[in-house]
Amino acid sequence: MTLTALLFFMSLYCQQVLGYSALRTGMAMLPITVIFIVGGLTSRQLIPVVGARPMLVAGGLIATAGIAWLVTIPTHSAYLTHILAPNLVGGFGVSIMLLAVTISGTTGVDPKNAGAASGLLNTSRQIGGAVGLAVLVNIASRVTSHASHDSDRLDALVQGYRVAFLVNAGLMLVTALAALALPAVASAKEAKEKAHEPLDGRPTTTRP
């Protein structure tokens, strides 16, 4: 939900408020791809050391900070301080959680049920993104509709986006705190093994 909403509302903000073209908007969001690669590699190295739960908590708190930063977006913004920086922070936080989520969702599952567990996890991601985005869009639309009576169109749109980012940040904070209740990975060895498995749960093969 967090990542889907983040990309969705930022693309709308860039095009509808700042007047970016679709191509310029895509280029503006491109650095998030790079930070996702960095975050993925970082989590792959740290999870075997600290475990999945600390990565979920840390990533959730970092993502919360990045998304909360977006609550301050103005009608006329500077790319570096209002778009790039908060998206890099939020994107990095989410990216270091992805592998940890997979490990937490499949740890302790019987090997014969690993495929079902992985499928359930991926399904929950898709449903969460779709339903969560629908809820946030409804919230943003209601705020914009109410604000349009007292503000011009752009100000009303920005107010709606701000509230959507605020709710999104709050939900990510709840996620980070909820991760504290997860059981720790049984051992560093298990975490290391799972950190080097593909997301579908099948073990990797190495050449001699």
Q: pLDDT tens digits, the chain, 208 residues: what are they?
A: 888 898 899 999 999 999 999 999 999 999 988 999 999 999 999 988 888 889 999 999 999 999 999 999 998 888 899 999 999 999 999 999 988 888 888 888 888 888 888 888 888 888 988 999 999 999 999 999 988 776 788 888 999 999 999 999 999 999 999 998 887 654 445 555 555 555 454 544 444 4
| Local structure of 139: helix, strand or coil | helix
CB 93 within 8 A of CB 64: yes
Q: What is the DSSP letter of 80?
A: I
CB 2 within 8 A of CB 170: no
| Local structure of 109: helix, strand or coil | coil
Euclidean distance between CA atoms 208 and 201, whole angstroms: 22
- Considering only CA atoms, which of 174, 176, 194 is closest in space to residue 185? 194
Tokens linked to 80: 């570096």
Domain spans of the chain, in order of start: 2-195
| Local structure of 183: helix, strand or coil | coil
Give the homologous superfamily in CATH for domain 2-195.
Answer: MFS general substrate transporter like domains (1.20.1250.20)
Which pTM was predicted? 0.82
Count of residues making up the chain: 208
